[in-house]
Amino acid sequence: MVNARAYPLWRDLAMSEDLPREALKTVIAALCAPATTPHGFDAQADRWREEALKAALPALLARTSAKRLRGQLLVHADEKTLAALAADGTVTAADVPAILRHRRVWAGLISALARHPDQVEAAIALLPRLPDHEVEHVVRDWHPDRYTRAKGAAPAPPVPPELFDAVLEACLTPLAAYLFHPEPEEGWEAVSAFSKDWSLELGGRAGWAMLARCPGRWAQLTAHPVFGTAVQHLLLDQAQTQALEDARLSAADPDGEELPADPAPALSEELLLACLPALRLPELASLPNPQVTARRTPHHIANRVRNNRRLADLAADQLHAAADALVTRGRLLSWSDKQEGDHEFDGRVLRLAEDLALLSANPDHLAGACAQLARLDQPAVVSPTPSRTLIRVLDNVDPDHDRPARLLERHYEHRRVQAMAILAANPHTPRTAVADVLSGLHPAELAWIAEKADGPDWFLAAAAAVPVPEDEDDGVVRLLDDDELGKHPDPAAVLQSWLDSPAAGEILSRSEVYRAVVKSRYRTLEHLRQIPADEVLARHAPDVALKILLDHCGRSTGRGEALAAAMTFDYDEEKITFGQLLDSLDGAPARARTS
């Protein structure tokens, strides 16, 4: 047992150059033993002991060569302290076994050891013991004090080339191994269709982080016998994106240069040619579940072309062949009706059309993409109820914000006609297929083409020539406030027309429609009965709904019990209307319904 007040003395003794070597063992034992009293462990005193040991640790390790004593000291040091001691040479590779008896390897220790030329090999030998996601940190954190280094302090030495190469190879290995054997892992069948995206395996963030540090070696690495394919994939996916991000960051700096309108390509033509073997993702062509993989593969390839525009010319034949093969293998143009709850359906169709417009030269496939676009649901274009605040804000920007083309963009409902414009720009797309789609477009979509589409002249002329019936309006459901409704001879009929419009079934617009109906003083109980119960009860008019429900239940105990059961919402079950909720109370005791 050591007197707590003696710890500063023991610290000073440990740090004194006059401390006899024979006393080292006693000092170390005093500073490493937990602080106790006759009554047990003393937490406060032990904190003083730890502080004294931390201050004396460098001096003690510098004077102690015995493995047992060094191990006794090392077990009390945290990772930051150990890394600092390894960086200055106090802790060496010989201490690693003692350190690893009590903790796992971390990147900072490897970096610190490798600062000394005679320990680089030992540091590299520790890399396999790091988790994959931490290996790159050995190089990333090579300068741990780069933001805090005191002025005049010596800079850190450069990363040893052999360590850099070892980290680069370790970071590329997982992707290279996956490309060599890209089979689904155990448990694949239990993964949701949304998550069955093998392209996530090509992320290789650590591999790209290392590649980005050595652009001068890219040409050599694309031909590497083991890692070449992985490097090609990473360059096609990441190089141009990283270059644009770097340019944006530079432009955001007050002293940086302006972002150029046409940034220089990150990959030279020679590098693009070197990466062509990976362009079509040939390693993944035979993966199971082709309707998922074959649909996402063209999207992955198309993104590569969007990032590296010269590929459209350099690899035109390869891209056309890849698109044809994927459409056939995945039966991508076989139409299947939209299932309830499939919120990704429209996005899949739109992406496929845009991808084929970029990759394909097959008129039949391009016509099939046009036909799929034509079968998508019409957009529900809604002009919201006037809001004084909203109008004031928008009028300052665009006083004509209520025109159909702008309203179409509000919920990204212009994407179908935007995809049509992209398809029309492909010279291999049959014009008759485009014309068939144009004839069935929503009036707001035709207005969008006239105002904003960037397509060939024949496409713009064909859209302008689509006949519009004389009695047809612009296709916009315009939600009015009560002041405007009061000017109409039958305001209740106007409210009913909103409920009957396609907008009431469109996920992004229906809540606006329901809110406008519920908030209007012209709405009736019949209007409320048509609206989903949860929209009335929980969102827009709980006070109104409460009065109606109380009046409906009256003094009936059975109805009251049925109401209590029906108010237990469970959102994964079928939704019911407010009218169905009311009707369910009439046959008390009623079966519990949810909304």
pLDDT for 536 equals 78
Identify the weakest region by mean pLDDT among 154-158, 304-308, 439-443.
154-158
Is residue 125 predicted with pLDDT exceeding 90? yes
The 8-class DSSP code of residue 444 comes to H
User: With 80 as the cut, is the pLDDT of residue 513 above it?
Assistant: yes
Among 2-6, 357-361, 390-394, 453-457, the range scoring the smallest mean pLDDT is 390-394
Ramachandran angles phi, psi of 577, nearest 5°: -80, 165
Distance of CA 355 to the CA centre of its chain: 21
Name the band, by pLDDT with cuts 50, 70 and 90, for residue 368.
very high
Is residue 406 within 8 Å of residue 398, measured between CB atoms? yes
pLDDT of residue 402: 75
pTM greater than the 0.85 cutoff: no
Give pLDDT, residue 506: 72
Identify which has the larger pLDDT, 124 or 531: 124
Q: What is the pLDDT of residue 590?
A: 40
The mean of the pLDDT values for the chain is 83
Predicted pLDDT of residue 395: 46
Helix (H) or strand (E) holding 382: strand 382-383
Q: Examine the pLDDT at 196 and tell me if it is beyond 60.
A: no
111: pLDDT strictly greater than 90: yes
> What is the per-residue pLDDT for 208?
95
Helical (H) or strand (E) element with 478: strand 477-478
Assess whether pLDDT exceeds 90 at residue 126. Answer: yes
Count Cβ atoms within 10 A of the Cβ of residue 49 and give its class: 0-12 exposed, 13-18 middle, 19 or more buried.
buried
Q: Alpha-carbon distance 61 to 98, whole Å?
A: 13
Query: What 3-state DSSP class applies to 532?
Result: strand
Cα 378–Cα 384–Cα 388 angle in degrees, nearest 5 = 165
Percent of the chain whose predicted confidence (pLDDT) is above 90: 43
Quick check: 481 pLDDT over 80?
A: yes
For tokens 């070597």, name the residue: 21
* pLDDT at site 64: 84
Contact 124, 168 (CB under 8 A): no
Whether the pLDDT of residue 592 is over 60: the answer is no
- Assess whether pLDDT exceeds 60 at residue 259: yes
Q: For the beta carbon of residue 156, count every other beta carbon within 10 angstroms.
A: 15
- Would you state the pLDDT for residue 380? 84
The residues spanned by each domain of the chain are: 4-147, 160-181+199-250+265-319, 333-468, 479-523, 524-595
Mean pLDDT of the region 312-340: 93
pLDDT at 61: 84
69 vs 589, residue with greater confidence: 69
pLDDT at 350 over 80: yes
User: If you average pLDDT over residues 243-260, what whole number do you get?
Assistant: 76
pLDDT value at 591 more than 50 = no
Give mean pLDDT, residues 304-314. 95
Residue 500 scores a pLDDT above 90: no
Residue 571 has pLDDT above 50, yes or no: no
Return the pLDDT at 584: 77
In this predicted structure, the answer to whether residue 39 has a pLDDT above a threshold of 80 is no
Q: Which residue has the higher pLDDT, 92 or 576?
A: 92
Q: Which residues of 1-12 are buried (b: 16+ CB within 10 A; e: fewer)?
A: ebebeebeebbe
Average pLDDT, integer, range 401-415: 85
pLDDT (0 to 100) of residue 214: 96
Cβ distance 76 to 57 under 8 Å?
yes
Residue 134 has pLDDT above 80, yes or no: yes
